Amino acid sequence: MTATAADRLRAIRDRLEAATRDAGRPAGSATLIAVSKTFEADDIRPVIAAGQRVFGENRVQEAMGKWPALRAETDGLELHLIGPLQSNKAREAVAFFDVIHTVDRDKIAAALAAEIARQGRAPKLLVQVNTGEEPQKAGIAPAEAVAFVERCRTVHGLAVAGLMCIPPVEENPSPHFALLDELADRAGVPLRSMGMSADFETAIRHGATHVRVGSAIFGHRDTPA
């Protein structure tokens, strides 16, 4: 018998629980974000039926295409934007998402602040840090992260809840997770969004409060991003 997405979800939940316990952390102290990018509503329904309520999407437009129907069917769904955000999408992002993980420059912070004021709706915000300082990757440089969080507060009037990172694919993720944890401490923010299918248990050891797991639940993605 082939494992279904719901089976894989249960297995990931068990591993997350075990990793949390092994790290000496309280049960439930890390939230599983099921990353459903590139998958259709029909692929997502069984995972909702299996009890999952927190989901991550990379693209505003794609999410707006499939999630209104799913939200109409099930109360209490929480949607996280984990992909890069353009300032011309700030309006939709604030209207649609509960948490935005990818604040990484003043232009975005200003656009989000304006929309939060206009809409009277305030998603939780995380600052993405480019811990590997990769030129092609989004995120603020580690050396600027603490000052940027401070500017989000003082210049833009935004409450920042945490930090997020995506370590370089070819590297040991541990030093990146440790760096994000340290920067979050220094910035005085509680949330750490780090760890994906391949390394979420390592991230839990380094204090992840949110792990973002896609392919280990939904299966292989044919389309990139």
Ligand X SMILES: *Cc1c(COP(=O)(O)O)cnc(C)c1O
Residues at the site binding ligand X, with contacts judged by CB under 6 A: 35, 37, 58, 82-83, 166, 196-197, 212-216
Question: Nearer Cβ to ligand X, position 41 or 138?
Answer: 138
Minimum distance, C-beta of residue 131 to ligand X, in the bound complex (Å): 13
Closer to ligand X by Cβ: residue 41 or 216: 216
- 114 or 216, CB closer to ligand X? 216
Residue with tokens 């997770």: 177
Residue 134 CB, nearest approach to ligand X (Å): 13
Between CA 195 and CA 16 the distance in angstroms is 11
Residue closer to ligand X by CB (options 160, 196) is: 196
**Nearest residue to ligand X on Cβ basis:** 214
Query: What's the full length of the chain, in residues?
Result: 225
**Rg, C-alpha atoms of the chain:** 17
SS3 48: helix
Smallest gap, in angstroms, from Cβ of residue 216 to ligand X? Answer: 6
Cα(27)–Cα(24) distance, rounded to whole angstroms? 9
Cα separation of the two ends of the chain: 29
Supply the minimum distance, in Å, between the C-beta of residue 213 and ligand X. Answer: 5
Helix (H) / strand (E) element for 99: namely strand 99-103
CA distance 188 to 145: 12
Closer by beta carbon to ligand X, 118 or else 221: 221
Q: State the nearest-atom distance from the C-beta of 201 to ligand X, in Å.
A: 12
Q: Which is nearer to ligand X, 153 or 201 (CB)?
A: 201
Nearest to 205 by CA among 5, 29, 6, 8: 29
Q: Extract the tokens encoding 36.
A: 């459903």
Which position has the token pair 């920042």? 160
CB nearer to ligand X: pick between 9 and 35: 35
CB 13 within 8 A of CB 192: no
Helix orientation angle between 106-119 and 142-154, rounded to the nearest 10 degrees? 30
In angstroms, give the least distance from the CB of 118 to ligand X: 27
Q: Provide the minimum distance between the beta carbon of 210 and ligand X in the complex, in angstroms, as a whole number.
A: 10
